[in-house]
Amino acid sequence: MKKNNYKSGFTLAEVLCALAIVGICTAFAMTLMKPAQKSAMKYLYMNAYTSIEKAYYNSAAIGFDPFSTEPDEDGVPPVFSDTKDTGALKLCQGLTTYINTTTNVKTEDDDYSSSCSDTKITSELAEDDDFNNDTLQFTATNGMRFYISKQLTMASGDKFYLVFVDVNGERGPNSIDYSYKGGKTSDDYNDTDPDDVKQKAKDQIEPDIYAFAILKTGRICPIGIPEYDSNILTARFAYFDSDGNVLYTKHSLPYYQAKGAAWGYYNTAGPDLLAYNEDEPFTMNDAIRAAINSESKLVKNFPDLTSIEPMEISAESPYFCSNEDLESCYVFLDTYKQ
C-alpha cells in the first residue's frame, strides 16, 4: 500500500489574520499600560512613605536619634558637615533595623545594614547624577534604593534630613524630575497651544525618585513633585469643632492644597474659597523648602501655587486648623482602601 505523505500548514490568509489579531490585542494592552503604571507608581510611593514613617518612629524609640549632639560611647562627638554626617549614619542604621536589606548585620545587639555610612551624603541639589553607588546608603529587599542628605536647618532652628528613595530600583527613568518620551524636555512643548499641552501630558513620564523630609518630631513630610501631582499623592485634612470632635474635609485634594487649606493659605470666605492668601504663614513643607538650596530641583521646579486650579473643600467653616503651631494640624494622606 502506498503511504500518503501529506504536510499540513497555514495559508497566507490565516497567518495574516493571526497577526492582525495579535496586533489588535497588543494595541489594546498598550492603552491599558499607562494607567497601570500610574497606579503602580502611586502604590510604590505610598509603600516608601509608610515604610520610612514606621521605621523612623520605631528606630527613634530604641535610641537611633540622628539629631543627637551627645558624644558616643567612646566620647567622640558627632560630626555634621557637608562630607561627613554622624546623623545620616544613625538615620540609615535606624531605618534598616526595620526595613529589610540584603546587607543587614545580624548580631546580638544590632540588625542594621552594613552599607550605612556617615560619608555617603547625597546633595540636596537633587540632580539625577547625585544618585549613584557612591551615595547609595542601602537597597531594600524589594529593590528600593535609599539616599540621605546631610543635616539641614530651618529658619526656626529646627533640624531635618532629606531621604531620597528610588521607588522602583534600577528600573528607569531613575530621575527626580519629569521626563518625556523621545528624549524631549518641557521646553519642546508650547504651553499656549492646546494640542501641545495634551501631547505633553501624554508624553510625560513620572519620576521614580522622591524626597521625604525627616523631622526630629517624628513627622515625615513629602517634598517635591508629590506635593502637587495628584497622580502620585492626594490628601485631606482634619480640624476640630467647638466640642473637640475631629472633622474631615469631604474631598481629597492634591497634597499641597490640603496642607495649604489646613494652614490658612487660602481665603476663608467668599466665592473664591481656595483663592491663595499670601498673608498667612508658611506650612511646614514651605519652611523645609525654604531651608533647601535654592538651586535644588525640590525648590526651583516647584510651581506657583496659584497656577493650579483649586478644588472646593467645604461649604461651612471652619476651613482650616489653628496656625499657631505648625505641628498642631493633621493632614492625612490618601491610601488605597484595603
Q: What is the pLDDT of residues 33-81, one digit of tens each?
A: 344 456 688 889 999 999 999 999 999 999 999 999 998 888 889 999 9
As a whole number of angstroms, the distance between CA 329 and CA 320 comes to 9
How far is Cα 311 from Cα 254, in angstroms, rounded to an integer?
9
Q: What is the CA radius of gyration of the chain?
A: 25
pTM of the model: 0.80
How far is Cα 282 from Cα 279, in angstroms, rounded to an integer? Answer: 9
The rounded distance, in Å, linking the Cα atoms of 256 and 266 is 12
Amino acid 53: pLDDT: 93
Please tell me the distance from the alpha carbon of residue 331 to that of residue 196, in angstroms, as a whole number.
Answer: 35
Whether the Cβ atoms of residue 180 and residue 236 lie closer than 8 Å to each other: no
pLDDT of res. 292 = 95
Q: What is the pLDDT of residues 149-193, one digit of tens each?
A: 999 999 889 999 999 999 999 888 999 998 898 888 888 898 888
Type of residue numbered 67: F
User: Which is more confidently placed, 277 or 256?
Assistant: 256
Q: In the block, which residue shows the cell 513643607?
A: 285
CB 145 within 8 A of CB 139: yes
Does 233 score more than 70 pLDDT?
A: yes
232's grid cell: 502620585
The stretches of 228-304 forming alpha helices (DSSP H) are 255-262, 284-291, 297-300
Q: What does the CA dihedral 238, 244, 245, 247 come to, rounded to 10 degrees? A: -20
Nearest alpha-carbon partner for 145 in 106, 89, 81, 102: 102
Q: Which residues pair with 221 in a beta bridge?
A: 213
Torsions phi, psi of 129, nearest 5? -80, 0
Using CA of residue 68, residue 71, residue 77, residue 78, what is the dihedral sign? Answer: negative
pLDDT band at 22 (very low <50, low <70, confident <90, very high): confident
The per-residue pLDDT for range 96-123, each reduced to its tens digit, is 999 999 998 878 778 899 999 999 999 9
Query: Alpha-carbon distance 298 to 319, whole Å?
Result: 28
Categorize the per-residue pLDDT at 29 as very low, low, confident or very high, splitting at 50, 70 and 90: very low
| 178 in Cβ contact with 205 (< 8 Å) | yes
